[in-house]
Amino acid sequence: MKNIVVLVSGGGTNLQALIDAQNRGEIKNGKITCVISSNPNAYALTRAQNNKISTEVIRRKDFAEFDEYDNALTELLKSKNADVVVLAGFMTILGSKVISAFENKIINIHPSLIPSFCGEGYYGLHVHEAALKKGVKVTGATAHFVNEVCDDGPIIIQKAVEIQNGDTPEILQKRVMEQAEWKILPKAVSLFCEDKIIVKDNKTEILD
């Protein structure tokens, strides 16, 4: 059974999707053992507590240097015996120490079809604002491994979502979450826990 540690910053609807999938028995060979937040007021922490999952808070601003923060987060994840780290709306940039300590073991959910609308500055509602500004007809979400380059790691699963007339960033964000993120993130985590993801040349192969 793999230990799943989930990193959050906000509302935690993707964390909730993981918890719900776990309760339905859809996370095979894995268990959410800890939720770590960058924000002590994140509602995601309440969701974890409601489900008797242990919680921790680690704030970037409590460390003078970025390296100290990077070291502290790495040590915290190691102390929790994390087998897989899930970024579920985690809004603090990860450092090279944590990324190399958990190479191809950190899964992020991004609210667009990578390589569109991703990279620095593309997070949360900004992603949907950019998609609507460009006028794309289809957007979606991507579950991928994290590497040193923002939103560039091997793609695990993608799901497309149609843009509709009258969409606002908020309406589109909700549709992308409901139709894509909340489905593909638990699926990607389960595939990882079942050892069904092979990574080669910055790409993945999913075993059936």
Question: Mind telling me the catalytic residues?
Answer: 110
Selection from 185, 181, 202, 182 nearest residue 193 by Cα: 185
Q: Which is nearer to ligand GAR, 97 or 175 (CB)?
A: 175
Binds ligand GAR by CB under 6 A, chosen from 10, 140, 153, 186: 10
> For the chain, what is the largest distance between any 2 Cα atoms, rounded to a whole number of angstroms?
48
**177 sits near ligand GAR (criterion: CB under 6 A):** yes
Distance between CA atoms of residues 146 and 105, nearest Å: 8
Distance between CA atoms of residues 118 and 141, nearest Å: 11
**186 sits near ligand GAR (criterion: CB under 6 A):** no
Output the smallest distance, CB 58 to ligand GAR, in A.
17
Q: Tell which positions 28-87 bind ligand GAR, by CB under 6 A.
A: 44
Distance between CA atoms of residues 64 and 46, nearest Å: 28
Q: Which is nearer to ligand GAR, 4 or 177 (CB)?
A: 177
Are 48 and 5 spatial neighbours (Cβ–Cβ below 8 Å)?
Answer: no
Distance between CA atoms of residues 52 and 120, nearest Å: 34
Q: Which is nearer to ligand GAR, 12 or 30 (CB)?
A: 12
Only segment of 25-33, 54-62, 106-114, 192-200 that touches ligand GAR (CB under 6 A): 106-114
User: In the chain, at which residue ranges do the beta strands (DSSP E only) sit?
Assistant: 2-8, 30-37, 54-57, 84-87, 106-110, 138-145, 155-162, 197-200, 203-206
Binds ligand GAR by CB under 6 A, chosen from 30, 89, 140, 154: 89
96 Cα distance to chain centroid: 17
Q: Tell which positions 141-170 bind ligand GAR, by CB under 6 A.
A: none
Q: Which is nearer to ligand GAR, 177 or 193 (CB)?
A: 177
- Helix ranges restricted to H, 8-142: 13-23, 43-50, 66-79, 96-101, 125-134
Q: Which is nearer to ligand GAR, 174 or 196 (CB)?
A: 174
Binds ligand GAR by CB under 6 A, chosen from 94, 181, 188, 204: 181
**110 sits near ligand GAR (criterion: CB under 6 A):** yes
Site residues (vs ligand GAR, CB under 6 A): 10-14, 44, 88-89, 109-111, 123-124, 127, 177, 181
